[in-house]
Amino acid sequence: MSDVFDFVVVGGGPGGCAVAARLAEARPDWRVALIEAGPAKSGVVSDVPLGIAISTPRKSERNYAYETVPQKALNGRCGFQPRGRGLGGSSLINGMIYIRGQREDYEGWERDAGCHGWGWDEVLRCFKQAENNERGADEFHGAGGPLNVADLRSPNPIAGTFVEAAVQAGFERNPDFNGFCQEGFGYYQVSQKGGSRFGAGRGYVAAAPRPNLAVITDAQAQRVVFEGRRAMGVEIVRDSRRETIGARAEVLVACGTFGSPQLLMASGVGPAAHLREHGITVVADSPELGSNLQDHIDYAINREFRDPMLFGVDFGTPVQVWRGWKDYKRAGTGLLTSNIAESGGFVRSQPDLARPDVQLHFVIGIVDDHGRKRHFTRGYSVHVCVLRPKSRGTVRLASPHMRVAPLIDPQFLADPADLHTLMNGVYQAYKVLRAPSMAGYEGRAIYGANWAEGAELEALIREHSDTIYHPVGTCRMGGDDRSVLDPQLRVRGVDGLRVVDASVMPTLISGNTAAPSAMIGERAAEFIRQSNEAAARAA
């Protein structure tokens, strides 16, 4: 082994950064290694919030840019799955929206999935200790934590007009989606500081370096190394050399909803028959590993509307960006501080529901096929996503080698209820767009009729809907023996191995997943500290 640590964390996304930093903080005598396949530095395109228009649509050293297998319910199209690569993970390329989900999501984890210790009170405490909300601390928010949460520095007036229209349409105004109630419309708070992106790598690692935390970047994990059924370290490739990083206590896998099951299966943990198909020696048969994939299916109402306040690609764009750059460099304000999806809301697709099941994002530009299809014009889009989909998919190996992308099959709209919810969500969005404040911004639909309904809307959804980047669930925790993890995130069937990222969620939370992923890392560090303290007392 090239080096031995107490804890080895694989994956530098929000969950991995959180657990690595908190373990290093807990005891100076613990040596912690954080291994990340991508680069240590975020780069200018990532730091500038509007850079997501460039970073999300294309493959790069900071974006895996996966594709799914063909989706039957989406006319056989392959979906697009951008995932962050580098210290910070997907917080390097996401929309920076800070959302926790609904109280009922976590109460359901504890009550229905047997995830004891994951009720609302426990997770709220972890959310608060992770947060530095610039509005200050209160019953629902923290101050002084590593993740900076801010209001937009230069909100777009038309995003505000969308909120006013929602109020005119009969929806509630909500200034804090992470407060007492999530329902309603308002501006999103964002993971920014001084107008720049403030991802998990910056907050947990770069802002507070520790001598007992070794950050190993540009190092691709190949497999977890076992002695018998105990995880002893991680084999990596760094600078074209293969080496093993040892772990005295535990290996913590935080490679994300696609990468974590891939690494575990490549290491011999997973559905036994599938592993044998790829010539992998089975360490532990875990039949459900890689199953239970859930994601927010999203449909965008894209409208062309030529207004200089909106962002697009036309003859005025160079001047607009240049002015924005000057504002950004001088004061951390202006167009370039926009996360693009500035405002939105949470609504019930049907009035008899107890809580919102649809989320809307108002985007200050046209987003067609994740921004991969450009239009020489300006406009806006309203994204509609199903918060708690019933469809379930899988992640499987395409090869035993980690350099080969896994087979990702979300099985979008496999359950007809998801299509029904999505269509009703679009009708709720129409109510907002038809309200007086937005009436002058109707514009022209990029595809189909402006107010498509019924069979026409269904056809548009099948041709144009896709993820809004919140996959979870492939290493689900639970109180039942078939769950991949126990409620303390330990992999069943082996020792010294946990998973610490969004893949552990038994069910998808009602909102964006970056903040909950960091919370999972915070909770994992607590479990480990408590376990070690209990062992010390027993000794």
pLDDT, tens only, 357-380: 999 999 999 999 999 999 999 999
pLDDT at site 534: 85
Confidence of residue 535 (pLDDT cuts 50, 70, 90): confident
Inform me whether the pLDDT recorded for 61 exceeds 80: yes
Residue spans of the domains in the chain: they are: 1-60+84-148+195-295+472-539, 153-187+297-386+414-464
| Residue range 97-146, pLDDT digits in tens | 999 999 999 999 999 999 999 999 999 999 999 999 999 999 999 999 99
- Angle formed at CA 79 by CA 17 and CA 71, multiple of 5 degrees: 125
What tens digit of pLDDT does each residue of 480-506 get? Answer: 999 999 999 999 999 999 999 999 999
Residue pair 502/489 in contact by the 8 Å Cβ criterion:
no
| Beta-strand pair 341-347/358-363 | antiparallel
The DSSP call for residue 393 is: B
- pTM score, two decimals? 0.97
The confidence band for 336, taking pLDDT boundaries of 50, 70 and 90, is: very high
The percentage of residues in the chain with a pLDDT greater than 70, rounded to a whole number, is 100
pLDDT of residue 1: 74
Of all residues in the chain, what percent are helix, strand and coil, respectively (each to 5)?
30, 25, 45
Instruction: Give me the active site residues, please.
Output: 470
Say yes or no: domain 1-60+84-148+195-295+472-539 is CATH 1.50.10.20. no
Confidence of residue 198 (pLDDT cuts 50, 70, 90): very high
pLDDT at residue 264, as a whole number: 98
Confidence of residue 450 (pLDDT cuts 50, 70, 90): very high
- 153-187+297-386+414-464: CATH topology: Cholesterol Oxidase; domain 2 (3.30.410)
Q: What is the CA radius of gyration of the chain?
A: 22
Q: What is the mean pLDDT of the chain?
A: 97
**Per-residue model confidence (pLDDT) at position 332:** 97
Kindly tell me if the per-residue pLDDT of 190 is higher than 80: yes
